[in-house]
């Protein structure tokens, strides 16, 4: 198995699609250009996934101040909208009660 294949987690076993009948002692020179390119892409993908995992772990452990500030602003706006909605519903209910009393008392 090549060191590149080992770093990407490709076992090269007979059941593995990338391995086939290739022996575990094959060198990079015995791989075709396409196989080397695929292994290189797997290695790059592994590096990118490791970087992303580290960044996500850091973000989860220490939420950034910018995100927290944006969420606080959103919370204030949401609270304002909710308060206005409650006031509107209360106003509609109050108007309906007043119209009901006028119709009941005047009829």
44 with 81, same domain?
no
Q: How far is CA 85 from CA 12, 13, 22, 82, 89, in A?
A: 63, 64, 69, 5, 6
Considering the domain architecture, whether residues 27 and 52 belong to the same structural domain is answered as yes
pLDDT at position 13, please?
46
Instruction: Please give the chain's pLDDT, 107 residues, in tens.
Output: 444 444 444 444 444 455 444 545 556 678 899 999 999 999 999 999 999 999 999 888 887 888 889 899 999 999 999 999 999 999 999 999 999 888 877 65
pTM comes to: 0.39
Q: Is the same domain home to 100 and 72?
A: yes
In contact, 4 and 28? CB cutoff 8 Å: yes
3-state secondary structure of 53: helix
Give the CA distances from residue 70 to residues 9, 35, 50, 59, 92, in Å, rounded to whole numbers and listed in that order.
Answer: 40, 47, 28, 15, 33
Q: How many CB atoms lie within 10 A of CB 10?
A: 19
Range of the domain at 77: 64-107
Question: How far apart are the C-alpha atoms of 91 and 102, rounded to whole Å?
Answer: 16
5/39 same-domain check: yes
Same domain, 41 and 51: yes
Q: How big is the chain, counted in residues?
A: 107
Instruction: Give me the number of domains the chain comprises.
Output: 2
Give me 61's structure tokens. Answer: 């452990």
Same domain, 2 and 14: yes
Q: Are residues 47 and 72 in the same domain?
A: no
Is the same domain home to 34 and 78? Answer: no
């Amino acid at each position: 198995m090549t060191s590149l294949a080992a770093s990407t987690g490709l076992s090269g076993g007979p059941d593995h699609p990338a391995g086939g009948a290739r022996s575990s002692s094959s060198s990079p020179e015995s791989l075709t250009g396409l196989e080397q390119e695929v292994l290189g892409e797997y290695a790059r993908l592994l590096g990118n996934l490791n970087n992303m995992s580290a960044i996500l772990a850091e973000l989860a452990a220490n939420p950034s101040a910018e995100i927290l500030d944006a969420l606080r602003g959103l919370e204030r706006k949401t609270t304002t909208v909710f308060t206005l909605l409650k006031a509107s519903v209360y106003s509609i209910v109050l108007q309906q009660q007043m119209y009901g009393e006028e119709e009941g008392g005047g009829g």
